[in-house]
Chains A and B, each alone.
Chain A
């Protein structure tokens, strides 16, 4: 599904990613952990095609295709979805209208007509029920005045609507209360299949109890310094990152 090869990325003079290698197969869940500022969100943004970051070395492949020249919107059309750590507000644009536009733009890229209003409504109803989102919420301006947790739940609602091949969830758990975490995690699990893949970026083991990863990677200073199974997350929870940082220095 996704293959990242010796990826280096920088912004201005600052090198943030320094040789990332990562392979994610269809049907897998990967967790990425790591201290603040280690480059997790940057990696997510680079996979999504944010041009602010300059790739100096390495490649990102989606289903065997080098994404080098692919615009962010085309990557989205190809099935990459990013749940933002900090979702952006768009005043005056309702969640519904935003989703309608997003879905129809993707359809247009595939040569399809707009989704009929009836189907759109059905989809919205289905997905909002799954994530226990009040329908009134969907007529509000996108993320404007949303609480931290509401923003995150809304990101997963969008993911559910768009049904991506590769979903990257950047700290979707932070800001969610205990019940919301369970609802959102269940939603993600329902969307999981043998044909898609999920990358979860998180600081906490808690989320991984719900969304069980096949692999856990630790990112530090722009590199994956350790990979393991879900037990690695437990170990990190217990020991913190210091021992890994020291290992890298050595």
Chain B
């Protein structure tokens, strides 16, 4: 046989985590375990005002009463929440005016990741707010943004400097009691990003944050809050990679987006947490709650490229509260080896003439399981709501799985809902055709996968799309050849 399933599989299996290294930066880490004292200590460490400490304690109380959910189509050993350290921050944390002052080892880490900050700076005006082990250590382009009244800083800083905004919006889209992981995050979140775009302002650059888990056994609890005031626009990029570890690492982030009247938020993610080795050992557990609220005529687009994590559980959602508001979800999820992904979206139509679009591309290889789970809910008041969903799956080999779970709840007769789904396999004939044109099998797979994902890749900002394509290649082909 030309290119047998067997060979294809082998080739895919030789993929090892490229960014599997560990940065030795002195950290200040809390003892393992979680109780009220730890929650208070985190809050103190971050010099938070009392209202914030109380909010965390309330969240902790809620969390204690909750049980970990079983609903996703994934199997994993549940983390022991008392065996995790809930705070870790790089030790040497002076205020940097320029990148030259940043710990060289940290910069080296970024180099290994292929993130050249200098390049990033030049590139189309990307401001990079780096979150490394929970605390942001460098922020660029702050001045340009400040001139427009845009606030882009760490959430800790926002809590201190802009309490009125944080108080008003934190937990307004993802309440503390929303789900188990959201409650946990609310109690112990270490850091994250905050962004506010004032009325009528178009953010002149892509806002970007790189996340990275670093300390062994440290749970990572990011909290992101993006507020687009009336008539404003912002495009926000989030990218992550993680070093290779033996123990499972828990990542439970919460992202809240608030799009006020006539505003637009584009939120793009490239996620590449350590997926575990090819035997399925190690890897990050990624349980994320991402949700956006659209007021009148507002629009939120979620675009994500998910290549990493051992277990991913993630449903970026839109609450289309205002009339004429628009929600979009574009997703590429790649799973290989023993990875499990259960991802999708929820589009909640509350307002009249609300529209949503869902394009989901799942690529599975190895022994992985890739599930799309989507809910489209149309409320009784949501006249003329429209949804279009398209879920395509691409399979490589015979041992992986692709599953689609579309849930549709319609309580208004005027709703128009369309759902399309396809499943295809990379064929030997396609590979041979490419081979015959001088394209080797590895490159051929990359080409076919990129073609399959194109509709979503096109939604990403240019420089991010290039990175995403690279990631797709890495996660499917490995370093062979």
Contact = CB atoms under 8 A, between A and B. Distances in A.
Interface in A64-105: 71-73, 75-77, 81-82, 84, 87-93, 97-98, 101-103, 105
A162 B437 CA distance: 8
A93 B448 CA distance: 7
B443 A101 contact: yes
A84 B433 contact: yes
Contacts of B443: 101, 105
B429 A73 contact: no
Interface in A123-140: none
A52 B451 contact: no
A245 interface: no
Interface residues of A, number: 32
User: By CB atoms of chain B within 10 A, which of A72, A75, A88, A141 has the most?
Assistant: A72
B1 A93 contact: no
A106 B438 contact: yes
Contact of B2 (A50, A141, A158): A50
B3 interface: yes
B452 interface: yes
Given A88-B429, A88-B430, A90-B448, A82 B438 contact: no
Nearest to B439: A105
B433 A91 contact: no
Contacts of A106: 438
Contact of A51 (B3, B437, B454): B3
A135 B175 CA distance: 53
A234 interface: no
Contacts of A76: 435-438
B432 interface: yes
Interface in B433-471: 433-441, 443, 447-448, 450-455
A121 interface: no
Contacts of A48: 436
Interface residues of B, number: 26
Q: Tell me what chain B mostly uses at the interface: helix, strand, loop, or mixed.
A: helix
B451 A93 contact: yes
Contact of A73 (B428, B430, B439, B455): B439
B433 A88 contact: yes
A109 interface: yes
A141 to B, nearest CB: 7
A43 B429 CA distance: 16
Contacts of A72: 432, 435-436
Contacts, number: 81
Contact of A93 (B2, B435, B450): B450
A142 B432 CA distance: 15
Nearest to A102: B437
B429 to A, nearest CB: 5
Contacts of A98: 437, 447
B437 A158 contact: yes
A141 B451 CA distance: 8
A90 B451 contact: yes
B128 to A, nearest CB: 29
Interface in A156-209: 158, 162
B438 A102 contact: yes
B447 A93 contact: yes
B452 A77 contact: no
B148 to A, nearest CB: 36
A75 B438 CA distance: 8
B430 A90 contact: yes
Nearest to A78: B438
A25 B447 CA distance: 35
A105 B442 CA distance: 12
Given A76-B437, A105-B440, A90 B447 contact: yes
B361 to A, nearest CB: 10
User: By CB atoms of chain B within 10 A, which of A90, A97, A102, A103 has the most?
Assistant: A90
User: By CB atoms of chain A within 10 A, which of B429, B430, B451, B455 has the most?
Assistant: B451
B451 A50 contact: no
A73 B438 contact: yes
Interface of B: 1-3, 427-430, 432-441, 443, 447-448, 450-455
24 contacts: A48-B436, A49-B435, A49-B436, A50-B2, A51-B3, A72-B432, A72-B435, A73-B436, A73-B438, A73-B440, A76-B437, A88-B429, A88-B432, A90-B433, A90-B448, A92-B451, A93-B451, A93-B454, A97-B447, A98-B447, A102-B438, A105-B439, A106-B438, A141-B451
Given A82-B436, A90-B451, A109-B438, 9 more contacts: A49-B436, A90-B447, A90-B448, A92-B454, A93-B448, A93-B450, A98-B437, A103-B438, A105-B439
